[in-house]
Structure 1
Amino acid sequence: MVKPHDEKEVTDECVVHDHPVPPEELARYSIDRDPYSEADIASYVEGQARDEEVQHVERIKTEVVLGDTYEMWDVTTDSNRWWVITNLTNLYSQKHFPSLDYTLSFHIGLMMRLRSRSDNVDAGEPSPFDEVIRREEQASDRHDSAVEAEDYQTVGMLLREALISLIGALRRRTEIPEGIEQPQDANFIDWSIVLMNQLCPGSSNKTLRQHLKSVAKESWQLVNWLTHSRSANQTASSIAIHSCQTVIGHFIQILERSRFDKNEECPVCKSRNIRTHFDLSIGDDGEYFSSCGVCDWTDHPDAAGE
């Protein structure tokens, strides 16, 4: 009978990793960091999941679908893990959406439905125009439940307040040269003229500038008529809402254009991959700042001395 060979005693130790890396340590091992975009995503998650504190944010990948770019983020908080997908930004619990590919498909479908249902300015993220959007949404909600002429008059009043708030938001972000007479706060038409002259200057912008002023003036006159008209009805109210949404969208666009034109190239590496962020801690009510997606350049005030 052949005796089996004696088995050698195993002396090599094999340590099995049986615990996860703490979320706060994961950032040390991330190769591709984007601090400002990570801060935007963290701020968004903490705004949506108010009882949770973000511990780690990591961009997993970026995909382009039908011309739209979607960034996918893995976010760990002190009690949950989330997928966050941009354009429009939304978060999904990884407990209920374990597959990122499935979540992206679901997200794209959801966003397409939302876009088809509303032409409103996107209010999903922090913005200096939050008050403007809130007032416009109040007007839309009142329109949906309106019955009497007085209800539609109230829609006009709410739209009027939204336009005045719009002027206030633009004034805080537009430098008005000395010597230019500043109208009264509630003088929407004259303020529209002053602001469009600053934000859309020059002979090459003459046609665009005149259009912006004209649309603003006619929309203001329409909502004031609606506010006082005893014949105010559903059709007039609906047209006034859409007209004001157009003005709000135009004015925000023209303000953003002036900012993008100044920073279309990174002053350090000359890349055009300039991203925009919003920080509530800048100034009295928050402000936008830019960063480069290629190098570490940013015009954030806190980075001025770095």
Structure 2
Amino acid sequence: MAELEHEVRNITRYVEGQARGEEVTHAERLISTKVLSTSHEVWDVRTTTDRYWVVTNPTNLYSQDEFRSADYALTFHVGIRVRLSERSRSEPQGDEEQESYVAVAWRKYKQAVDAYNGADEAEAYQAVGIHCRESLIALARHVAAALPPETIADAPKASNFKAWSELAAEHLATGRLRSYLKAISDKSWDLAVWLQHYESATPWDAELVLDATSHTIGIFGMAFHRHHKGQPDRCPRCDSYRVDFDNDILDDNPDVQWTQRICAACEHEWDYQIIRWDDEAGKWVEEPPERADALRLPRHSESEDATATTEPIA
């Protein structure tokens, strides 16, 4: 897969930011693959003084003196990620924005994980069920606060998780996804209540209920995120979802930047804009279209009528 200019630029910025005093002279993508549903790339990067493997998601660099092959660096990188994931079982698996939709439920769930880690008898594993039930009730209270009042004809009791989750499913989704939200809500609640009252509860029972509860909270967080965000951007030429945001300073002036969107599938560029820092306003402002056209860099294609939120370089 050929490297796009903005991808090389982003890798270059990362390496030069991590390896202070070194300048990147070559950056080439060698591997692009998925491991455990997560996309990873491995780049061969040479600097004026050293050579690195750069592995993405999360991005890290490894000296080629210590890691002799790209596969070795990728294997080590994925292993570290899996270990960190296992250690942080109580952490939500989505991004921070998805977590924010159901933050209280996640906090209650972490208490369930703590209870499990300290349990050694049946009654202690039963207590895990109580904490899981409380986290689901917290999710129900979030739903009650988040749903538009006009969508609720007859409000259930605050602790009625099944009723609130059904209302949320009706509001957030349609078709099979709606049915799935209702089904996992119903079953995860039943499992938590079962564990709470099961006098012969085992570690495996508690672990099963923890997984079911975590999955339910995470899926509802994702459903809220999906509902609020709507459809992701697509390339106007090839309809690909692989839309990246690209920007850089203009004419070596850090107070003036160009921004655009670019398709990583067909390399189509659009929505070219010029933004500048306004000291009086204390923010980045967009230049009029005619000035953006006048300052357009030769390599950029004609922009199309589209709007995008522009973000300055960090």
After TM superposition, the score normalised by the length of structure 2 is: 0.52
- Flag structure 2 segments of 5+ consecutive residues without an equivalent: 46-51, 246-260, 272-305
- Distance, in Å, in 2 between the alignment partners of 1:156 and 1:276 is 43
- Larger mean CA deviation between 66-75 and 175-184 belongs to 66-75
Match among 17, 32, 38 for residue 64 of structure 1: 32
Pick aligned residue for 1:178 from 114, 125, 150: 150
The alpha carbon displacement at 1:165 in A equals 4.4
Distance 1:99 1:165 in 2: 49
Q: In the alignment, does 2:176 pair up with 1:226?
A: no
Cα displacement string for residues 98-117 of structure 1 (whole angstroms, at most 9, x for unaligned residues) = 76824224224445677899
Q: Residues 73, 191 of structure 1: CA spacing in aligned structure 2 closer, same or farther, 3 A cutoff? A: farther
Deviations 1:214-254 (A, max 9, x none): 32123113323434555544343233223213323433454
Change beyond 3 A, Cα 1:196–1:73: farther
Q: Which residue identity is paired with 1:65?
A: T
Residue in structure 2 matched with residue 209 of structure 1 by the alignment: 178
How far residue 135 of structure 1 moved from its aligned partner, in angstroms, is 4.2
1:280-295 mapped onto 2 (5 Å cutoff): 293-294=263-264, 295=269
1-side partners of 2:61 and 2:111: how far apart?
28
Query: TM-score normalized by structure 1?
Result: 0.53
1:232-289 deviations in whole A, cap 9, x for unaligned?
Answer: 44343233223213323433454455567622624x5564234699xxxxxxxxxxxx
Structure 1 alignment gaps of length 5 or more: 1-30, 76-81, 278-290
Larger displacement relative to structure 2 (213-222 or 228-237)? 228-237
Q: Equivalent residue for 2:125? A: 152
CA change 1:229–1:105 in 2 (3 A) is closer
SS at match of 1:128: helix
Q: Distance in 2 between matches of 1:157 and 1:175?
A: 26
Deviation at 1:70, TM superposition (A): 1.2
1:265 aligns with 2:229: no
Aligned-residue Cα RMSD (Å) equals: 5.3
2:172 to 183, 194, 199: 199
1:234 alignment partner AA: P
The equivalent of 1:13 in structure 2 is none
More strand by share: 2
Q: Name the aligned partner's letter for residue 272 of structure 1.
A: S
Residue aligning to 2:303: none
Specify whether residues 259 and 178 from structure 1 end up closer, same or farther in structure 2 by C-alpha distance, changes over 3 A only.
Answer: closer
2:121 counterpart letter in structure 1: E
Match of 1:71, SS state, is: strand
Contact 2:53 2:61 (8 Å CA) reproduced = yes
Corresponding residue for residue 282 of structure 1: none
Higher RCO (CA 8 Å, separation ≥ 6 residues): 1
Aligned to 1:250: 219
Deviation at 1:193, TM superposition (A): 0.8
CA offsets per residue over residues 147-199 of structure 1, 9 Å max, x none? Answer: 23442233123222332444566678x66372424545543212211111122
Question: What does 1:4-153 align with in structure 2 at a 5 Å threshold?
Answer: 32-33=5-6, 61=29, 63-65=31-33, 69-71=39-41, 85-87=55-57, 89=58, 91=60, 94=63, 101=70, 102-111=72-81, 123=93, 126-129=96-99, 131=103, 132-133=105-106, 135-153=108-126
Q: Deviations over 1:16-69 (max 9, x none)?
A: xxxxxxxxxxxxxxx8337xx96xx98xxx9xx9xxx9xx99986373236763
Whole-Å separation in 2 of the counterparts to 1:168 and 1:143: 24
Answer whether contact 2:140 2:160 (CA < 8 A) is retained.
Answer: no
Percent identical among aligned pairs is 27
Q: Which amino acid aligns with 1:180?
A: I
Q: How many residues align?
A: 239
Cα contact 1:97–1:103 (8 A) shared by 2: no
Say which one has the larger Rg. 1
